[in-house]
Amino acid sequence: MKQYLDLVQHVLEYGQRKPSRTGVDCITCFGAHYKVDLAEGFPLLTTKKVFFKSMLRELLWYLSGENHIRNLRKHTRIWDAWADEDGNLDTAYGYYWRNFPSAQRNGDGEWHVREVDQIGYVLKTLREQPHSRRMVVTAWEPGNATTSKLPPCHYTFTFQVQGNRLNCHLNQRSGDVALGIPFNLAAYSTLTMAIAQDVGLEPGVFSHFIVDAHIYTKSLDGGNANYDHLPGLREQLEREPRPLPQLTIAKKPLDELTFEDFQLTGYDPHPVIDFAVAV
């Protein structure tokens, strides 16, 4: 997919070397952005194989609102490194999507907390006031962010209706170009398509802004070579993108969709490229 390859090239051209929290050096670019039109096909990378099933399991787990990985672990272990020994995860995107704590004062001046289903609010607003500019979902809770092992990377997203098309814009504070961004692109595109079919709209544009877009690389003295993502990304830049696949989603309410309701067809990617995860 050309937009992704352009992002990789942009970071390589304009990025600067920096240390990272993980102890692995990065080539980092500030304020990267791309967008894709979902009418042109499902944006699953073809310059390497992306594991669609793992991405979909993760997205459905988000939508469940769970803050532990017991059910997710049955299908994929992509969050195991950040969970505690009991499987609890303090950075559970879906928990905040579906149960965001909102503190309010009552008439006596006492604080009380109610939980807000932000996805439910978006669905209701799309049906009743589709041209609202207030369809924002956040996973960033400041108190959690100060203590979490890994605060949310993709922290807020907004929906907008243009004509009969549903658009989505994602803001991400930190984006691993080789590993994370392809998953984020596929997941939020899937979410946009699933919500669109629920409320009777067509999928529109997915727009993605990354504050810190980075590529992990070995240090100048040759250390951390196992985390060097540059060779794999350069290999992708040499590969010719292939036609995008199609994603078909059953016509069901969002919260009734199951794994079997998503059908990916026509996916013919180049071979897998392995990238090590920097934890």
- Please state the pTM of the whole predicted model: 0.94
- Contacts of residue 250, Cβ cutoff 8 Å, sequence gap at least 6: 257, 261, 262
173 lies in a domain? yes
In a domain? residue 276 = no
Question: Residue 249 is encoded by which pair of tokens?
Answer: 């989603």
Per-residue pLDDT, 148? 85
Mean pLDDT of 243-269: 97
Q: Structural domain tally of the chain?
A: 1
Q: Which domain holds residue 123?
A: 2-100+113-265
Task: Indicate whether 129 pLDDT > 80.
Answer: yes
- Inside any domain, residue 279: no
Q: Does any domain span residue 59?
A: yes
Which of the listed ranges 84-93, 142-151, 161-170 does the model predict with the highest average pLDDT?
A: 161-170
Which residues are part of the catalytic machinery?
Answer: 153
* pLDDT of 223 above 80: no
- Residue linked to tokens 């299908």: 75
The answer as to whether 124 is a domain residue is yes
In a domain, 272, yes or no: no
What's the mean per-residue pLDDT of the chain? 93
Q: Is 87 exposed, middle or buried (0-12, 13-18, 19+ CB in 10 A)?
A: middle
Residue 42 lies inside a defined structural domain of this protein: yes
Q: And the tokens for 209?
A: 């802004």
* Residue 105 placed within a domain: no
Question: The domain that contains 21 carries what CATH number?
Answer: 3.30.572.10
Question: Rounded to 5 degrees, what angle do the CA atoms 30, 23, 26 make?
Answer: 30
